[in-house]
Amino acid sequence: MTQPADDLGIEQRGINVIRGLAMDGPQRANSGHPGTAMALAPLAHVLFTRILRYDAGDTRWFDRDRFILSNGHASILQYSMLYLTGCGLELADLEQFRQFGSRTPGHPEVHHVPGIEVTTGPLGQGLAQSVGVAMAERLGRHRFGPEICDHHVFGFCGDGDLMEGVSHEAASLAGHLGLGRLIFVYDDNHITIDGATELATGDDAGKRFEAYGWHVTHLGEAANDLEALESGLRGAMAESERPSLVILRSHIGWPSPHRTDTKEAHGEVLGAEEIRLTKELLGLPPDEDFYVPEDVLAYYRAAGTRGRAERNRWLSHLEVMDEVDRDRFEASLSGSGLKGWADKLPSYEAGGKIATRKAINEVMLATAGGIPGLVSGAADLTGNTGTKLDPDDAMSVANPGGRQVHYGIREFAMASAMNGMALHGGVLPVGGTFFVFSDYCRPAIRLGAMSQAHAILFFTHDSIGLGEDGPTHQPIEQLAALRAMPELRVIRPADANECAAAWQLGVDGVGLTALILTRQDVPVLAGTAERAPEGVPRGAYVLETENPGSPPDIVLVGTGSEVQHCVTAREALASEGVSARVVSFPSWDLFESQDESYRRSVMPPGVPTLAVEAASSFGWDRYADATVAIDHFGASAPGSRVMSEFGFTGENVAQRARDLLATDNKEER
Closest C-alpha among 370, 297, 207, 213 to residue 21: 297
pLDDT mean by block of 10 residues, the chain; 669 residues: 61 98 98 98 98 97 98 98 98 98 97 95 98 98 97 98 98 98 97 93 96 98 98 97 98 98 95 98 97 98 97 96 95 96 98 97 98 98 96 96 98 98 98 98 98 98 97 98 98 98 97 98 98 98 85 96 98 96 98 97 96 98 98 97 97 98 73
CA distance 280 to 294: 20
Whether residue 80 is found in the same domain as residue 197: yes
Please report the pLDDT score of residue 3 as a whole number.
Answer: 47
* Strand-strand pairing, 609-612 and 541-544: unpaired
Domain boundary among 275, 309, 343: 309
Q: Is residue 323 part of a domain?
A: no
Domain boundary among 501, 523, 545: 523
**3-class DSSP assignment, residue 490:** strand
CA distance 517 to 505: 15
β-bridge mates for residue 458, sequence order: 432, 515
Helix or strand (DSSP H, E) at 153: strand 153-158
Whether residue 561 is found in the same domain as residue 659: yes
Whether residue 133 is found in the same domain as residue 274: yes
The pLDDT tens digits of the residues spanning 247-300 come to: 999 999 999 999 999 999 999 999 999 999 999 999 999 999 999 999 999 999
Q: Is residue 102 part of a domain?
A: yes
Domain boundary among 523, 553, 584: 523
Whether residue 98 is found in the same domain as residue 173: yes
CA distance 614 to 665: 27
The pair phi, psi for residue 511, each rounded to 5°, is 80, -165
Q: What angle do CA 444, 170, 112 make, to 5 degrees?
A: 40
Please report the pLDDT score of residue 547 as a whole number.
Answer: 77
Determine the length of the chain: 669
**3-class DSSP assignment, residue 37:** helix
Whether residue 580 is found in the same domain as residue 458: no
Closest C-alpha among 39, 5, 12 to residue 256: 39
Whether residue 468 is found in the same domain as residue 604: no
CA distance 638 to 615: 17
The pLDDT tens digits of the residues spanning 356-373 come to: 999 999 999 999 999 999
Q: Is residue 320 part of a domain?
A: no
Whether residue 519 is found in the same domain as residue 541: no
| CATH at residue 544 | 3.40.50.920
Whether residue 107 is found in the same domain as residue 217: yes
How many structural domains comprise the chain?
Answer: 3
* Strand-strand pairing, 191-192 and 195-196: antiparallel
Instruction: Tell me the DSSP string of 503-559.
Output: HHHHHHSSSEEEEE--SS-EEPPTTHHHHHHHHGGGS-EEEE-SSTTS--SEEEEE-
CA distance 568 to 582: 10
β-bridge mates for residue 376, sequence order: 404, 430
| CATH at residue 342 | 3.40.50.970
The pLDDT tens digits of the residues spanning 414-453 come to: 999 999 999 999 999 999 999 999 999 999 999 999 999 9
Whether residue 250 is found in the same domain as residue 339: no
Q: Is residue 324 part of a domain?
A: no
Give residues with Cβ within 8 angstroms of 438, minimum separation 6.
Answer: 445, 457, 459, 475, 478, 481, 482, 514
Domain extent, residue 485, equals 334-523
Give residue 560's Cα distance to chain centre.
25
Q: Is residue 290 part of a domain?
A: yes
Whether residue 403 is found in the same domain as residue 301: no
Whether residue 541 is found in the same domain as residue 575: yes
Q: Is residue 242 part of a domain?
A: yes
Q: Is residue 136 part of a domain?
A: yes
- Catalytic residue check, 571: no
Whether residue 477 is found in the same domain as residue 345: yes
State the DSSP code for 584.
E
Q: What share of the chain is helix, strand, coil (3-state, %, to 5)?
A: 45, 15, 40
CA distance 212 to 242: 10
CA distance 617 to 626: 9
CA distance 184 to 66: 11
Q: Residues 117, 137, 274, 411: which is the catalytic one?
A: 411
Give residues with Cβ within 8 angstroms of 245, minimum separation 6.
Answer: 184, 185, 186, 205, 206, 209, 214, 215, 216, 217
Tell me the Ramachandran region of residue 457: left when phi exceeds 0, alpha when psi lies from -120 to 50, beta otherwise.
beta
Model pTM above 0.85 = yes
CA distance 582 to 541: 9
Q: Is residue 286 part of a domain?
A: yes
Residues 203, 139: contact at Cβ < 8 Å? no
